[in-house]
Chain A
Amino acid sequence: MGERDAGATFDTMSQQKRKKSKPYDYKTRVLAVRVEQRLRKEGNQMMATSGTPPVASADASAPVTPAPVPTEALKIEAQGSVPAVEPLVAAAEAAVVLPPEAPSAPSTAEAAVPTLPAELAVADAKAGESPSPASTGEGNSEATKSEAAGKKPKAEPETLEQFIEYAYGRKGQPLTLKPKVEKHIAQNARLDDVALSRLLQVTKGDTLLAVPRQILLLSQEVTGLPGLKAALTSFVSNVMLRHPVFGDTGVQGALRNLPEALPPAEALARVAAFEPAPSANSEPLKGSDLRDLRHNAVRLFVTWLGVSRSLNSEELSSLLFQVVWQPAAKDLADDTARLRALTDVGQAAGVGLACQRFRQQAMEARTQQDQAQREATSLRDRLSAAETQLSDTAEQLEAVQAELQALRESAAAEIAALRRQHADERTHLQHELEQLRGRLVKRLTDSVDMLEVGLSALRKDSPRVPVMVERAEHVVDALRAEVQALREE
């Protein structure tokens, strides 16, 4: 927690003791609202008879469009009741049974504490939070007067509207709902337009937005009564949508969970950095008030995210850490500031929860890291083994390829050698055939020549028989030898 927040907590607590608290006089306010409504009604009737358009009243069916409420107006309303209503206050006091005054809105210290689930908020409430007068911004003496006027018996709220009014009277203190009251209220857990309008007026007094979060947390405690739950949630939604803190378009979209809405972190950052627009009708918020408003708005927004989007505590913690805590911690200039901030932590449970969550995340992360490292080591081992296997396989493949190549080459060489051998054999056979043919041609030619000469010798007037005989013998011998040679080949 920041020093500022810690200091604000002390101041708030001391202020609560020193300053005269101006508790929110919801009784007077209720009476004032009723009077106003009556007057308006009468006024409308008068206008109707005169032809003037009546004053538009709140339309329950129309979507609630939160109008920016001037801070000054809020302040004035917060500070003091409507003067015209005062005479009616005393008359209404006797008819109104109000629950005991709730302590003021939670202190800024509480605002600085991260949003807690409802049960813990109740526990915090039981831990004795001191009311914060800043949440209400009131210091009027009317509440004190009304207190001093005498203690009246506390009446249980019978309607939702009453309960909400009561809640606002608690000024941001944790809320509880007795089962009996809860059931009773749940019988008619619907706010009509008039009631809503009235209540919205009431909400204007809660300039620092201390109450809606409590209502929202309470709604989560309601079980088995979905109507009541939804009504409470809807009311808080209306309040938020109307408040200037949530006036940014992007924030509005996040509240409504629109498709094109800003991410939660960004919307929350805008809420945390809210700067009210200057208004001539009202005085600007004091620095501490603005700080409290931002804190409350942040808590409310986070609570809203947790409720509407079902974000778990881890996610909410991360959101707050990212948007609120970490930026705040960056402002700590030195070790003394850090020491102060650490020792000023008020809501130990929230811190503990967050830290527990972070620690758990860290441990889970550590576990995941260890597991990841183990897996990485295992994967590395497997990778190494795979690489080794790949290398071996590649070598085997190379060897096989080399063997295959060698086989191919040897086969090709063998084929080439066989082809050459066949070609050579064919050449030799062709040559032998040619030689044989030539030999036979020569033999036959010589034989023919010889026999021709022999015949020529025989045809002489005195035949040369020996010539013919000799040549015929030679031819016969030669042909016989040739036949023999052919048979032997």
Chain B
Amino acid sequence: MTVVGFDFGTTNSLASVVIGNEVITFLENEQPIPSVVSFEGGKVEVGRKAHDKLTSAGLGVQGSTVRSPKTLLGREEQLIDGVRRDPVKMVEHVLDHVRRFVLQTKAGRDLPMDRVVATIPVNMEGHRRALLRQAFRQAGMSVVQFVHEPLAALYGYLRMSEGTSDLIRRYDGKLLLVFDWGGGTLDLTLCRVLNGLLVQVANDGTEEVGGDVFDEELRNEVEKRSRAEQGLGDDVEVLPEARKRLLHECEKAKIRLSDRSTWNVYVDPYYQDDKQSDLQVNLSRDDLQDIVGHLVKKGVARIERLLEREGFSTASVELCLATGGMVNMPMVKNRLDELFGPGRVHVSKRSASAIAEGAAWVAHDQARLHLAKNVELALARNSYMPLLQAGVEMPIERENRRERFDLYCVDPSDGHGKFSLVSPHRPGPRVLANDKRRPLCNMLLKVDGKAQPFRERLGLEVNIDENLVLTATAWSLNQKGKAVAEVHDLEFALATPGARNSWLNASLLGSDGEVSPNEPGDLSMRSNIAAREDVSLVPGEVLYRYNPYYFRVEQNPPQIQVEERLYYEPCAICGRASNDPLCRCASLLTSRQQPSGRLNA
């Protein structure tokens, strides 16, 4: 069964498929299909026709036209052209339009077009993924699996390069930057090749410097210069739809100034002026540089910001893969070359379709997503138990990955079992015990506060569904309590072409290595969960209540439990806390002791 790669982008949508050993991308007159849907006059139009109705940059609803309905997923219904419309339905229109377009081509008419690998932004949450899957289903397509856009672009680049294995070997352990600058957004993703997996390290993005912003900036400047050149004041009105035409002309000018040094922006008629109704402004590359240069700087600056934030430098980036229409601007390419050096910047000839083609290769090779980082449960005394190890395959459509664990409550004294799911910052299964962790979710479960340690049996189940949402469910057998939490922002890795995942064979390291310092203000939950019966895990003051004999000297109890007991157990004489300055019972006891060590009677 042929699976199609589907790039449902913020600005454009595209479908690609691998036939034989070559990828086919379905472009409409050499252009992708804009992710725009128009409901003007009750008629639904998608693609180029709807895009031509846009009057300004920016994502979302513009009158009766919606640019990038994907960004509206998860929100409430939108009022468009007097009708409340579900974002899922809007997305369905775009998906269905692309699907029909593919099927009406000669090359695509025999494709089933019912199973796709769909690309998603890095920061798309689980519930939005579920909504996107629903939209695909309504459009007649089932999503085999999701793949993140930068990972798809990287995969396609590696797959279509000569000497894929050598390239992967060369990049193993190195940082790779995916620089996706499209019409609506700029997305940066820092990745690393680790043991045959493309692992996402960090990401950044903004909508402020999308290609449409460039066009709008240019338009405003062109109109301004035109008014100045032609001596027209602000009171001179612009004809209806003229600004829209000027926006499109500016977009073309931006593209043509890649090949030419100057370009006349001409729109006739533009003004509502009998004498000078047309608009003509001559732009040069320098003009373009002056007008939108700051946007380019702003966009490229985000690279440096990301690298600095993650503690890397541009020199540590082995490859900068530039995708999206904006990277064809000489300004952008020059800037990237300045940053990384021409040898480490790769701008695809088909930059607009790089992500779709990558998704097609992912579909063809049946490359699977894997968990990039462990999902762990914090246990008592700050140990961590891996619930899901980095490297495990993520479920595809109609699959679930489920694990179940039986646990104990070490300290039920407050009546709650405290579950804390965390994920290390370090990708891969080889994490140190004291590596910094990121909390995923916390759960409180009702337990019997009067029960002894290890008496309350607890259960924990973690399940990852086809939408890559982790659901943790905890329950207590005695108190019949239940707690549920979801994690939508797991981090994933993509298997490189032809690679074998060795992460599953890696064992966890012991607690050696440098201590990761905590940041000021960090809070952590003191877990009272254990995976085995070990009295050393029980807090000293709790254990003393049930087993005072444990603390006899000849039993040689662990020092930490002794200290806990002394510190947290209220004073037996005055009942104050041990750190209460009013409690001087210990000094009194000491003074009464004779040199022989006996207390005075």
Within 8 A of B (CB), among A412-469: 420-421, 424-425, 427-428, 430-431, 433-435, 438-439, 441-442, 445, 453, 456-457, 460, 464, 466-467
Given A434, A442, A457, which contacts B266 in the complex, CB threshold below 8 Å? A457
- B105 contacts A434, C-beta separation under 8 Å: yes
- With contacts A421-B20, A428-B19, A430-B107 taken as known, whether A435 is within 8 angstroms of B266 at the C-beta atoms is no
Q: How far is the CA of A420 from the CA of B260 in the complex (A)?
A: 45
Chain B residues with CB under 8 Å of A453's CB are: 266, 268
- B20 contacts A428, C-beta separation under 8 Å: yes
Q: Which of B20, B22, B266, B282 has the most CB of A within 10 A?
A: B266
Chain A residues with CB under 8 Å of B107's CB are: 427-428, 430-431, 434
- With contacts A434-B106, A464-B278 taken as known, whether A474 is within 8 angstroms of B22 at the C-beta atoms is no
Chain A residues with CB under 8 Å of B579's CB are: none
Given B24, B256, B282, which contacts A428 in the complex, CB threshold below 8 Å? B24
Nearest residue, chain B, Cβ from A461: B275
Q: How far is the CA of A246 from the CA of B263 in the complex (A)?
A: 146
Q: How far is the CA of A467 from the CA of B263 in the complex (A)?
A: 8
- With contacts A435-B27, A438-B28, A464-B280 taken as known, whether A427 is within 8 angstroms of B19 at the C-beta atoms is yes
Within 8 A of A (CB), among B92-136: 105-107, 110
User: How far does the Cβ of A474 sit from chain B's closest Cβ, in whole Å?
Assistant: 7
Chain A residues with CB under 8 Å of B280's CB are: 457, 464, 467
Nearest residue, chain A, Cβ from B265: A467
Asked if B30 is an interface residue, CB under 8 A from chain A, the answer is yes
Contact size class for A?
20 to 34
Asked if B29 is an interface residue, CB under 8 A from chain A, the answer is yes
User: How far does the Cβ of A456 sit from chain B's closest Cβ, in whole Å?
Assistant: 6
Asked if B31 is an interface residue, CB under 8 A from chain A, the answer is yes
User: How far does the Cβ of A473 sit from chain B's closest Cβ, in whole Å?
Assistant: 8
Chain A residues with CB under 8 Å of B24's CB are: 427-428, 431
- A474 contacts B256, C-beta separation under 8 Å: yes
User: How far does the Cβ of B23 sit from chain A's closest Cβ, in whole Å?
Assistant: 10
Tell me how many residues of B have a C-beta within 8 Å of chain A: 24
Q: How far is the CA of A99 from the CA of B27 in the complex (A)?
A: 144
Chain B residues with CB under 8 Å of A460's CB are: 268, 278
Nearest residue, chain A, Cβ from B24: A431
Nearest residue, chain B, Cβ from A450: B252
- A442 contacts B29, C-beta separation under 8 Å: yes
- With contacts A438-B30, A439-B30, A442-B31 taken as known, whether A431 is within 8 angstroms of B105 at the C-beta atoms is yes
Q: How far is the CA of A420 from the CA of B21 in the complex (A)?
A: 11
Within 8 A of B (CB), among A96-129: none
Asked if A470 is an interface residue, CB under 8 A from chain B, the answer is yes
User: How far does the Cβ of A427 sit from chain B's closest Cβ, in whole Å?
Assistant: 5
User: How far does the Cβ of A383 sit from chain B's closest Cβ, in whole Å?
Assistant: 57
Q: Mark A211-252, 1 if CB is under 8 A from B, else 0.
A: 000000000000000000000000000000000000000000
Chain B residues with CB under 8 Å of A435's CB are: 27, 30
Nearest residue, chain A, Cβ from B278: A460
- With contacts A428-B22, A442-B29, A442-B30 taken as known, whether A470 is within 8 angstroms of B263 at the C-beta atoms is yes
- B29 contacts A441, C-beta separation under 8 Å: yes
Chain B residues with CB under 8 Å of A456's CB are: 268
User: How far does the Cβ of B24 sit from chain A's closest Cβ, in whole Å?
Assistant: 5
User: How far does the Cβ of B547 sit from chain A's closest Cβ, in whole Å?
Assistant: 73
Q: How far is the CA of A121 from the CA of B262 in the complex (A)?
A: 153
- A430 contacts B106, C-beta separation under 8 Å: yes
Given A421, A425, A441, A466, which contacts B264 in the complex, CB threshold below 8 Å? A466
User: How far does the Cβ of A450 sit from chain B's closest Cβ, in whole Å?
Assistant: 9
Chain B residues with CB under 8 Å of A466's CB are: 264, 282
Chain A residues with CB under 8 Å of B256's CB are: 474
Chain A residues with CB under 8 Å of B30's CB are: 435, 438-439, 442
Chain B residues with CB under 8 Å of A457's CB are: 266, 268, 278, 280
- A424 contacts B105, C-beta separation under 8 Å: no
Q: Which of A421, A427, A439, A467 has the most CB of B within 10 A?
A: A427
Chain B residues with CB under 8 Å of A433's CB are: 106
Q: How far is the CA of A96 from the CA of B329 in the complex (A)?
A: 167
Q: How far is the CA of A460 from the CA of B29 in the complex (A)?
A: 32
Chain A residues with CB under 8 Å of B262's CB are: 470
Nearest residue, chain A, Cβ from B269: A456
Q: How far is the CA of A470 from the CA of B262 in the complex (A)?
A: 9
Q: Which of B107, B256, B262, B263 has the most CB of A within 10 A?
A: B107
Q: How far is the CA of A466 from the CA of B283 in the complex (A)?
A: 12
Q: How far is the CA of A477 from the CA of B107 in the complex (A)?
A: 30
Q: How far is the CA of A430 from the CA of B20 in the complex (A)?
A: 14
Q: Mark A28-56, 1 if CB is under 8 A from B, else 0.
A: 00000000000000000000000000000
User: How far does the Cβ of B244 sit from chain A's closest Cβ, in whole Å?
Assistant: 15
- A424 contacts B106, C-beta separation under 8 Å: no
User: How far does the Cβ of B544 sit from chain A's closest Cβ, in whole Å?
Assistant: 76
Nearest residue, chain A, Cβ from B106: A430
Q: How far is the CA of A442 from the CA of B22 in the complex (A)?
A: 24
Chain A residues with CB under 8 Å of B278's CB are: 457, 460, 464
Given A425, A441, A442, which contacts B20 in the complex, CB threshold below 8 Å? A425
Given B28, B31, B266, which contacts A467 in the complex, CB threshold below 8 Å? B266
- A424 contacts B266, C-beta separation under 8 Å: no
Nearest residue, chain B, Cβ from A442: B29
User: How far does the Cβ of B222 sit from chain A's closest Cβ, in whole Å?
Assistant: 14
Chain B residues with CB under 8 Å of A471's CB are: 264
Given A424, A439, A470, which contacts B29 in the complex, CB threshold below 8 Å? A439
User: How far does the Cβ of A33 sit from chain B's closest Cβ, in whole Å?
Assistant: 123
Given B19, B263, B268, which contacts A424 in the complex, CB threshold below 8 Å? B19
Chain B residues with CB under 8 Å of A420's CB are: 20
Q: How far is the CA of A241 from the CA of B373 in the complex (A)?
A: 124
Chain A residues with CB under 8 Å of B259's CB are: 477
Q: How far is the CA of A248 from the CA of B572 in the complex (A)?
A: 142
Nearest residue, chain A, Cβ from B109: A430
- A470 contacts B105, C-beta separation under 8 Å: no
- Beyond contacts A441-B29, A467-B266, A474-B256: 5 other A-B pairs, Cβ-Cβ < 8 A, are A420-B20, A430-B106, A431-B106, A442-B31, A464-B280
Contact sample, A vs B, 24 pairs, CB 8 Å cutoff: A420-B20, A424-B19, A427-B24, A427-B110, A428-B20, A428-B24, A431-B105, A433-B106, A434-B105, A434-B107, A435-B30, A438-B29, A439-B29, A439-B30, A441-B29, A453-B266, A453-B268, A457-B268, A464-B280, A466-B282, A470-B263, A470-B264, A474-B260, A477-B259
Question: Which 9 residue pairs spanning A and B have beta carbons closest together?
Answer: A424-B20, A431-B107, A442-B29, A430-B106, A438-B29, A430-B107, A467-B266, A439-B30, A431-B24
Please give the residue numbers on chain A whose beta carbons come within 8 Å of chain B beta carbons, in ascending order.
420-421, 424-425, 427-428, 430-431, 433-435, 438-439, 441-442, 445, 453, 456-457, 460, 464, 466-467, 470-471, 474, 477
